[in-house]
Structure 1
């Protein structure tokens, strides 16, 4: 629809040539908006794609993974921003991902619940409660 709205026949281009660009852009934006579990803005997706292209190019040229410093030079970007982009580019990991050789353990099993009461505190509280009931309520 955007191609129809913005097309100017006076310039002499065919509509199909003009519309192809807008269709490609709409598809790319839609994929960028919907492809990830956690949405990343389109401008950041474009930066990630550029970073990935440069990483592949440097890997082919040098035969080794590029360091953030090398990437920063080739992208003309500060190193700390390159590190942030690399961090954002990582895919999230499912809490149900198996851990270890046996399939019984999951990643979520090893994450501490900071709101849960610690076993020692729970035991002490139960002991105090039992003493209160025994001496003050009886």
Structure 2
């Protein structure tokens, strides 16, 4: 990996519709990738499910909450697809795949499975490591 790239680690799978309304981590990664000249995204723990190639439900709206005001709900899988299309390298730890009983063949094309030891060995190659 080039020294110009940056590693962003996302572990928390769902932040809630209200929180995402103020700051959507995956959407922000598009801008970070542009500004920092390259980002690798590591999906850990339950966030690894974002890398699954399943039917995307698209932006939805929940109504009837908080006095009937609609709340937008994003699909993180569609955001991962978009990140891959823009050149973000998406990584998922092997231990998380095993721990969550995910089938590797169900991962979206372009997502790379890495071992923790391999990844930790590459940390010095990154200019920054950001935990979001």
Q: So what's the TM-score if we normalise by structure 1?
A: 0.22
Higher-Rg structure is 1
By percentage of residues, which structure has more strand?
2
Q: So what's the TM-score if we normalise by structure 2?
A: 0.23
By percentage of residues, which structure has more helix?
1
Which one has more relative contact order, counting CA pairs under 8 Å at least 6 apart? 2
